[in-house]
Structure 1
Amino acid sequence: MGMHGDGSAPVARHGRQHTPHPARAIVTMLAAALAVVLVSGVSIAAYAMWDVTSSITTVSLVSDDEAAVAQAAGAEPPPAISAIDGGVNLLLVGSDSRTGQGDAYGEDEGGELNDVTMLLHISEDHSNATVVSFPRDLVVDIPDCPEGGGYTAPINESLSQGGLACTVLTVEALSGLSIPFAAEIQFNGVIEMSNALGGVPVCVAEVIDDPYTGVYLEPGTHPLQGADALGFLRTRHGVGDGSDLGRISSQQVFLSSLVRTVTSDSTLTDFGKLYGLAKAAASNMILSQRLASPDTMVSIALSLKDMDLSRLTFVAYPNYYADWVPAGKVAPDEEAAAILFAAIQADQPVAVAAAGGIASVPDPNAPVVTADPAAPVDPAVPVDPAAPVDPAATPAPVDPAASGVTVLPDSVKGQSAADYTCSVGND
């Protein structure tokens, strides 16, 4: 952890804010982390499993209703994800609702906005995964939903128009993907899950000072949990350019570290942490009906368990400022998005041109990776069989295109879970 000039430890200030326009709630938790965590269901006792599953709240998606109609007509029921060797599309939504969350997050402003919208795609062969974050201010066509929609607006209005099912329909229209699994998480879920982990180490490159969320962090690495973790994920004014786009890249710093923490041996072998994470998630999330099955959650976990973290990539949906959208909002970059989703639909791994974004930079103190004898070799680099081999040498960089990876346009920002990055404060 970084230190003040006088040697004292940095602090993260938090508490109820009384500003007239508090920052919109940004609650985020990686769906992949939830899935990995719930693999604990394989080994926990029957009572523990009942305790977790009895806490689950479910909601129906439009596709759930269609499946029920098909089944009632005598069609074969859709196979559970554990019964097929296939991919996964799962939408995770962070709601800004304060309902039932206590008064520590400011007054409820009415309505319910999906200020975090993330799509997790796992490839059919489970060799790679992509997480796409959709900016809350992205102006899109919200389709006709069961309770509203049918107009153009920022994507974060979709939740208030028809609940989680409407947000799923909106992202399906944007991505061209079918999304059978979805989950909604609120403030307390982020706090309890970070507490169950014992904190997520987050690197800060420049001072983060945000009076709106009460976050103050000096440069250094901070094990964030509880209200401090939530404040970091919510901060917009304190990072990058002060926009939601900067907040997304700062969140990716947290998420990549979270995945490394969840998949570490110290977590996967700790029953207390696993059970605490599963319980925290189940108690603070609304799950679509097909995701709420413990068997489904465990099978999704198993598809992620052995994935190379360099093949788990976080990206922001490509966007740009345009004259036709309201001030402060962004328009979809359809050309770059077409490249991104063509790769996802083809189950190809993706990579960004350079790790980092508006509010994140590579960590100069990242662990040094030594040579891996099994690492792929760039066929374009000639090999001298008589040359001595240094076992401690770093392997030559591999051309991503030569290994079947789609390198995204420079306008697409993000990083892989293997990239160590630091959040940058807003001057």
Structure 2
Amino acid sequence: MILGSMAPRRRWLLLGLTALAAVALIAAGAVVITRLTGDSKPGGGPVAGSPTPSPIGTPTPSPSGPPPGADITGPLNLLLVGVDTRVSVPGWEPHSDAVLVLHVPKGLGQAYLFSLPRDLLVDIPAFPKAGYKGGKTKLTHAMSFGSRVPGKPKQPSTAQGYELLRSTVSGYTGLRIDAGAVLTFNGFDRLVNALGGVDIYVDQRVESLHRRPDGKYRESAPGGYTGPQQVYEKGEQHLNGWQALDYARQRYITGGDYARQRHQQQLIKALTRKILDENLARQPERVDQVVAALGDTLIYVGGRRIVDIAYALSGVPENKFVLVGLPGAGVGKGSAYRGEQLTKVGRDFITELRAGRADAYLAAHPTLVVKN
């Protein structure tokens, strides 16, 4: 795409769209941002100990200069994290309840999105900054162990926790993490609503543990929740903001957490499709509305500006955006559950992805491709 001959406002709108699309790829991972104790509700601010995010901007490039991110050719790996944050609880350590990796091979013509189970047993490296000596435990703990600030037990740092999580994921997958994002509840439903909702194929009947049909939270009681439940019937459904978030939270369903991971990925793709279908580049007021809806829900972490990453991702066709579900199984003896591990098929996918042979591997293992 050549920008030099375009009017400045038209260039801004195109960059606004591409930035928004990239944010959707990152922020839609926030679908997975759940406080999975099941009794928590959306928080009202940034994650604890995180830096104050700056507004998500789309600066107008110089007419004579290259477009943003023109030097990014791939491969590119983004780490998308949904955190269990309870900002009202002093000293609460953030947990990574959702960990997704977006891999874009060299040439930036394709993208693969896969999830790692929150309970995946991994080797978490030593992290002196937080006083952590390292060990083998669940992936979700990497964020919390890394967030500890010596001498400040009630002031955990989510940004610092992300560092340890990034190192852990990189060590497990063998992928260099170039950038990423940590997201909270606040504002996700507003993002979806700003887009007019999303269309998704619900692949099984899902009863909500948390919400009533009117969107209000169910009453908490000893042993669980009471009251009528929101139900998502199998088939094509149009979901508004709270419904999209609620649907992606549910893990006490057939397939458990692996089914939830699939639903999260489907919603990421649905959001991206919605942004492209809406042709937001020709509706500046809609671009402003959707970007404003993000607010402080997004904390972007990377060496490059988000607009650079956005522009680099803008050329990935929708039919080349592949959702991959990695199968796993529980680890432990009898009732002594220790966590999850990927099966050989799942582990081998990551190996083939690193080697640039993901397409061939998926052709041989088509059940790994998540249908939407």
Separation in structure 2 between the aligned mates of residue 348 and residue 408 of structure 1, nearest angstrom: 11
SS at match of 1:407: helix
Is 1:249 equivalent to 2:262 in the alignment? yes
Residue 340 of structure 1 contacts residue 408 of structure 1 at CA under 8 Å; is this kept in 2? no
Query: What does residue 368 of structure 1 align with?
Result: none
Q: Which residue of 2 aligns with 1:223?
A: 238
Matched, 1:310 2:326: no
Are residues 1:321 and 2:334 paired? no
Aligned counterpart in structure 1 of residue 102 of structure 2, from 111, 116, 120: 120
CA distance in 1, matches of 2:231, 2:91: 25
CA contact (8 A) 1:196 1:277 kept: yes
Partners of 1:265 and 1:99 in 2: CA distance = 35
The answer to whether the aligner puts 1:96 opposite 2:80 as a matched pair is no
Are 1:85 and 2:87 matched, yes or no?
no
| Partners of 2:353 and 2:56 in 1: CA distance | 25
Question: CA contact under 8 A between 1:141 and 1:152: conserved in structure 2?
Answer: yes
The residue correspondences of 1:347-358 to structure 2 (distance < 5 A) are: 347-350=356-359
Structure number with greater Rg is 1
Local SS of the residue matching 2:332: coil
Please state which structure has a larger fraction of its residues in helix. Answer: 2
Q: CA deviation at 1:343?
A: 3.1
Q: How far did residue 289 of structure 1 move? A: 4.5
TM-score of the pair, normalised by structure 1: 0.59
CA offsets 1:228-251 (integer angstroms, 9 cap, x no match): 2211111112x323x211211222
Pair 94,202 (structure 1): closer, same or farther in 2 beyond 3 Å: same
Question: 1:191 is matched with which residue?
Answer: 189
Name stretches of at least 5 consecutive residues in structure 1 with no aligned partner.
Answer: 1-19, 28-37, 45-79, 101-106, 351-400, 422-427
| TM-score, normalised relative to structure 2 | 0.67
Instruction: Find 2:299's aligned residue among 268, 286, 291.
Output: 286
Give the Cα separation in 1 of the matches to 2:238 and 2:90: 29
Paired letter, 1:171: V
Q: Which amino acid aligns with 1:85?
A: T
Say whether the 8 Å CA contact 1:194–1:225 is kept in structure 2. Answer: yes
- CA offset at residue 185 of structure 1? 0.1
AA paired with 2:363? V
The amino acid that maps onto 2:178 is: P
Alignment correspondent of 1:207: 205
Q: How big is each residue's C-alpha offset from its partner over 1:151-203, in whole Å with a ceiling of 9 and x where there is no partner? A: 11111111111111111011001111111212100111422321222211122
Matched AA of 1:158? A
* Aligned match for 2:363, one of 402, 407, 412: 407
Residue in 2 that maps onto 1:299: 308
Give distance in 1, aligned partners of 2:241 and 2:323: 23
Tell me the SS of whatever aligns to 1:127: coil
**Corresponding residue of 2:58:** 41
1:168 partnered with 2:183: no
User: 8 Å contact 1:92–1:119 — kept in the other structure?
Assistant: yes
AA matched with 1:311: K
- Corresponding residue pairs, total: 286
Counterpart-to-counterpart distance in 2, 1:139 and 1:25:
28
**Gap change, CA 1:310 and 1:39, over 3 Å in 2:** farther
The AA in structure 1 aligned to 2:172 is: L
Indicate conservation of the 8 Å contact 1:137/1:154, yes or no. Answer: yes
Of 159, 184, 188 in structure 1, the residue corresponding to residue 143 of structure 2 is 159
After superposition, give the CA deviation of every residue in 1:78-99 in whole Å (9 maximum; x if it has no partner): xx95434232111010011031
Q: Residue 23 of structure 1 contacts residue 213 of structure 1 at CA under 8 Å; is this kept in 2?
A: no
Equivalent residue of 1:329, what SS?
strand
Change (3 A) 1:232 1:159: same
Judged with a 3 Å threshold, the aligned counterparts in structure 2 of structure 1 residues 262 and 39 are, in CA distance, closer, same or farther, namely farther
Indicate yes or no: 2:254 matched with 1:240. Answer: yes
Change (3 A) 1:89 1:149: farther
Q: Distance in 1 between matches of 2:37 and 2:76?
A: 38
**Structure 2 CA distance, aligned partners of 1:317 and 1:204?**
19
2: CA distance, partners of 1:310 / 1:108: 45
2:69–2:312 CA contact under 8 A, matched in 1: no
TM-fit CA distance, 1:349? 4.6
Letter in 2 for 1:339: D
Distance in 1, Cα, partners of 2:182 & 2:245: 16
